[in-house]
Structures are given as structure tokens and as C-alpha cells.
Structure 1
Amino acid sequence: MSLPDDYLTYPKRGYGQDIDRYVWRQADQRQPISWPQGKTVAALIVIPLEFFMLNPSGKPFKHPGAMVTPYPDLRHYTSRDYGNRVGVFRLLKALKHAGLKAVFAVNAVLLDRKRPLIEAILADGHEIAAHGWDTDSIHWGGLDQATEADYVARTRAAFAQAGLSPRSWLSPARQQSQVTPDLIRAAGFDICLDWESDSVPWAMTTKAGALTCVPVANELDDRKILIDQRQSETEWADQILAARDLLVEEGPRYGSQVLSFTLTPYVSGLPFRMWAVRRILASLAGHNQVWSATAQEIADVAAA
């Protein structure tokens, strides 16, 4: 049977991809970046501080860390709370010991509830990023645009009330709608951590101006590897350090790149996993080709 004439006709098909937010390019076609002091790898560590409720709506889907069993799922609720009260302070201590920086992505509803934690993060020189309103306020294509705009506006207002003006945005569950980039850029965020289309920052087009995307590798996320894929802490640490070694190896050909991963307080902040966290941080801190950087620093150097 022959195909209809219009089978291969697609009006949105373009060179390389169908997304018109940024220009598609291969790795060998981009202008090489050089991090400070000629370092080839920028280590970007993201630590999410999330608010989970006992009775999430689950619309359009449950956040990956949301409650699992029927209400009230106190087992998972208290483990998330443990991460924000205990585990995160272990991570802070480990970062300080290694002399590394991180980006703490904070749900807006936690700003008042966790003010001493926010102060401790700022005192150690880390970056605070906006992580949306909460884990049940998810951005997606079927969400009314006015509602999504309200999510973003409330988030910005909450940070302003807390005396903070973050430049970086990370969506809850890293989920966006078609207009999320436009809304967050209009609200004053000029850096987005949701996308991972490259291993270096790139410029995204929005109706409110350019938005710098700094990639965060979901494949190295502690929760994904340790919980979802059920790999060992040794395998997780090995993969992060293997990624670093390859990026160093690729430096002469592709220039400097970003090594990014997530440390989730209720996952990697547990006592029996801290040895792996310390191993990762010490190995990054001790490597002469690694630059410990925040998302803001990475975006600014890439744009210079």
C-alpha cells in the first residue's frame, strides 16, 4: 500500500529539531567556552528543598517525591521532612568541608518555614534558586495560563518578601508548559535549570527576552539512580566521577563543559549514603580541572 502524499509533510519540521526556542547545533559546531583559570569542567551541584503535602492533588501527575500510600502516608511524609531538617545540614557540612558551592532550589512555601536553613545556606556562599511554589503546583500544557502565571508571580513575591531576588528558576518536577519560559523570564528570572539539551549553557528565546539555560543532568540525579534504578551508592559515585573524567578528556575538542547532578536531602543526606557524597565532593574538589560554580556564575562566564 502506498503512503498518502501528505504523510511526510510536517509544517513544523526544521533543521535538527522541531523546537523553535533555541538554535539547534551539534557539539562540534558551538563556540568553545573556557571556565576561569582554564578549567575544563564546571561542577554544578543542585540541592532541592521541597515541600510535600500529605494529600497532594496529583494533577496532572504526582511529583516524583510525592506521597505513595493512601492518606495519611506518614512514612514517606516524615522521610521528606527528615531531609529538610537533618539530611540537608549533613550536605551543607560536607560541602563546606570540601570547599564546594551548590545551588539550593527552594519551594517558595518553605521560605518562612525554614528561615534558619535559608540563612545557613546564604552564610556559606551558596546560590538560592526558585523552585516554584510547591511540589503540587506543577506547570504543564493543560494548565490555564492565568493559573500558571499566578504560580510564578506568587513565587517571585514570596522570595521578594523574604529579601531574596533569585535569578535562577527550577520548575517543580522539572515540568514546563509551552509558555513557562515566557512567564519566568517576564518575572525576572534569566536562568533556567529545567532543560538539558547540551552540556554547556545556551540561550533560549522568550517573549520577554533571552533566557539562559544551564543544564542539570537528570541521569546523574541521586533519586533517579539510587531509588528509581536501585543502583548502589558506589555505582552512583562512579558514574558522576566517570562523567567528570570524560568531560576533562573532551576539553581540547569541545572546550569547557558542565558536570551537573542533584543531591536530594532525603536521599543522599541519609547517614549510610554520606560516605558516597563525601567521596564525590572530595574527588571533585581535588581535581585540578574542576571549577566549583553556581548557576549564576556559569551563566555569566558563558555569556561573557
Structure 2
Amino acid sequence: MSAPIRPTGPDYLVTPMRRAARMDHGFYDWRDTHGAAHLEFGGGVKLGIWVQLAAEWFPMDTTGQPFLPLGAPHRPWPDSQVYTQRDYGLRIGIYRLLDALAARGLEASLFLNARVASRYPELMRHVLASGHDIVAAGLDMGAIHHEGLSEADERAMIAEALEILAGYGIAPSAWHSPGWSQSSRTPALLSQAGITAMADWCNDEVPYDFATGQGSIVALPNLIELTDKEMIGRSKARLHEYEAAILRAARRLLAEAEQSGSGRILPLHVTSWLMGQPYRIAGFERLLDALAAMPGAGFVTVPQIRAATTTLA
């Protein structure tokens, strides 16, 4: 019998900490949902609805290294069709999302690429006046954090993003990496830069402590499967299917929160160039209304999530 064919590929496919234990890294110990952090939102809220508005800028010359994030220009230069549709989201679509929230008196977290701030000053004035929570979302959607970067280069990327935001008086405590991608050094570098929470890992519905080797950071829950980019952009779900999936998730999480006695979080991650389209914005508005009417559910942002976390596992 011939020897098995072993896959070959770039070094970033290697898992250097592969071991017999359950985890292949030293960031946190394995646990299940019964060992999760305890969430107490107060006011009868068992399910925190965390609205995340993605404000993303895709450079036209995105290199694709180490991968093209979902939504990036991908056709031969210049991919004006994709580039301008993403630009539409930052000039038009995002205002529909912000207006929908304002009409209902709701707060959200803006997942903001720093270069959006420098390229769209009018949007920044509007966002700052709205009072929404700001989550630093890297430099732009072409500046991917990955293992192939040097530590110095990655540190400089984080510092530049935070410096741009500081120029607008923004000092975010939370971070979200472009393309949901990190290197093994990213959490430590974020902690060194003063970031205390991140929303890149998709493995929980409550926050948990994340050991970086350079101090602790809190991993905030996120669900990539329920984002509009994943469901509508990639999987081509119809709007009513997307709405139904969000509401099914909310009902299940609320039931589990009531059963366990500890709160849960449902991230509602929406993208300006997708959900801000004129034929989709009504779906976002319907979701906000349905979730607001759900007994036991309430809208939260990063400060409220951190305040509600009474015990970290």
C-alpha cells in the first residue's frame, strides 16, 4: 500500500502547537457553555442584542494577500463596479442604517475601518454626533492581519489605525480585525496598544478572558454565520430568510438564557453596502422592531456588555 499523500502549502497552514489536549493554543482553556461567563444585564433583559454596523473601505488595489476578504474588488483592474458599490454603502447606505436606529432611539457599535474616518469626513461628523459606540476595525479591508506579517509591521498597522481615530477624539476600547483575521500575535499587540476587548473569535455567545502573554483581553461574542455578508452576500439568502434566521436565533438564545439563568448575546452584524440598499433597509427596520418587541431582549453596546459580565471563566 502506498504512503498517504501529505498536503503541502505555505507555512501559515502549519499548526505549531498541535497537541493531544483539546486546545491547540494557549489563549484559553477548553470549557463548554455551562462554564461560561455569567451575564447580568439587569432590567429583566436576558438577551443582549448587539447591533454592529460595519463601516468598511475596500481599496481598489486590494492585493489578496493572504486572502481576499468577502466583498473586496476581485476582477481585473480597475474593478470599478465592486469598488463603487462599496463606496455607495459609505455615502448613502450607512445613513439609512443610522436613520433607522435614530428613529427608534437605539444605540449600536460602529465597526469602523480607520481609513473610513480619513476618507469620509462628513460621515464621521454624523457618526460622532450620533453618539454610537466605536469599535476600531483596523486600517481598511485590504490591511489583513495574518501570520506572514512581521511583528513590527503588524504593530505599526494597529498603531496607525488607533492614531487616525485619535485624531477625531476617538479612543476605542474594543477591536475587530478586517476580514475577521488575526495572527498569533494580534491579541498581544492589541493588549499592548491599550485595547481591552476584541470581537474576532466566533466561538461563544458570552464574553471570556483571553490570555495574550502580554496581559489579558476580553473576547466578545460574535457570530459570522449570521452576518448579512455571510448569509446574503455569500450564501445568497433571500431577505425574508435572513430575517427569519435572526429571529429564530433570538428566540433560541433567549430560551437558553432563561433556562440557564445567565444572559446571552446576539450580534446583529450588518454592512452598509448590503443592508443599506433601498430594497433591503425595510428588512433591517423590521428586525429592529421585532427584536425590540421581544420580552426579555434589549439592545446593548460594548460598555453595557462589559458591565454585565460578572464572572469571566
Mark yes or no: TM-score above 0.5: yes
Identity %: 31
Partner of 1:296: 303
Partner of 1:243: 249
Q: CA deviation at 1:111?
A: 1.4
Partner of 2:77: 71
Partner of 1:85: 91
Once the two structures are superposed, the pairs formed by residues 193-232 of structure 1 within 5 Å of their partners are: 193-232=199-238
1:182-231 Cα shifts (integer Å, max 9, x gaps): 00111011110101221001110113311111112101100111121011
Tell me the amino acid that sits aligned with residue 257 of structure 2: G
Range moving further from structure 2, 192-201 or 290-299 = 290-299
Tell me the amino acid that sits aligned with residue 271 of structure 1: P
Q: State yes or no: 1:40 paired with 2:46.
A: yes
Q: State yes or no: 1:106 paired with 2:101.
A: no
Contact 2:17/2:24 (8 A) holds in 1: no
Residue of 254, 266, 277 corresponding to 1:259: 266
Q: Find the aligned partners of 1:112 and 1:95 in 2 and give their Cα distance.
A: 24
Q: Find the aligned partners of 2:23 and 2:76 in 1 and give their Cα distance.
A: 42
1:255-284 Cα shifts (integer Å, max 9, x gaps): 100001211000010001111111101111
Against the structure 1 CA distance between its residues 14 and 125, is the aligned structure 2 distance closer, same or farther, given a 3 Å change threshold? Answer: farther
Against the structure 1 CA distance between its residues 117 and 180, is the aligned structure 2 distance closer, same or farther, given a 3 Å change threshold? Answer: same
Against the structure 1 CA distance between its residues 123 and 286, is the aligned structure 2 distance closer, same or farther, given a 3 Å change threshold? Answer: farther
Aligned residues: CA RMSD = 1.7
Q: State yes or no: 1:168 paired with 2:174.
A: yes
Q: CA deviation at 1:15?
A: 4.8
Q: Find the aligned partners of 1:42 and 1:106 in 2 and give their Cα distance.
A: 21
Range moving further from structure 2, 228-237 or 64-73 = 64-73
Q: State yes or no: 1:147 paired with 2:162.
A: no
1:150-206 Cα shifts (integer Å, max 9, x gaps): 101111111112211001100010100000000011101111010122100111011
Partner of 2:33: 27
Q: CA deviation at 1:303?
A: 4.5
Q: TM-score, normalised by structure 2?
A: 0.90
Q: CA deviation at 1:83?
A: 0.2
Moved over 3 A (4+): 10-16
Q: CA deviation at 1:31?
A: 4.8
Contact 1:15/1:24 (8 A) holds in 2: no
Against the structure 1 CA distance between its residues 123 and 303, is the aligned structure 2 distance closer, same or farther, given a 3 Å change threshold? Answer: farther
Q: Find the aligned partners of 1:44 and 1:252 in 2 and give their Cα distance.
A: 18
Residue of 180, 188, 193 corresponding to 2:186: 180
Range moving further from structure 2, 66-75 or 24-33 = 24-33
Q: Find the aligned partners of 1:12 and 1:78 in 2 and give their Cα distance.
A: 43
SS in 2 for 1:38: coil
SS in 2 for 1:263: strand
Q: TM-score, normalised by structure 1?
A: 0.92
Q: Find the aligned partners of 1:172 and 1:160 in 2 and give their Cα distance.
A: 19
Tell me the amino acid that sits aligned with residue 302 of structure 2: A
Contact 1:16/1:25 (8 A) holds in 2: no
SS in 2 for 1:37: coil
Q: Find the aligned partners of 2:49 and 2:25 in 1 and give their Cα distance.
A: 28
Tell me the amino acid that sits aligned with residue 257 of structure 1: R
SS in 2 for 1:105: strand
Q: Find the aligned partners of 1:97 and 1:106 in 2 and give their Cα distance.
A: 22
1:56-95 Cα shifts (integer Å, max 9, x gaps): 1111111211102111111111100000000000000111
Contact 1:36/1:291 (8 A) holds in 2: no
Partner of 1:57: 63
SS in 2 for 1:164: coil
Q: Find the aligned partners of 1:64 and 1:12 in 2 and give their Cα distance.
A: 28
Once the two structures are superposed, the pairs formed by residues 275-286 of structure 1 within 5 Å of their partners are: 275-286=282-293
Residue of 93, 101, 107 corresponding to 1:95: 101
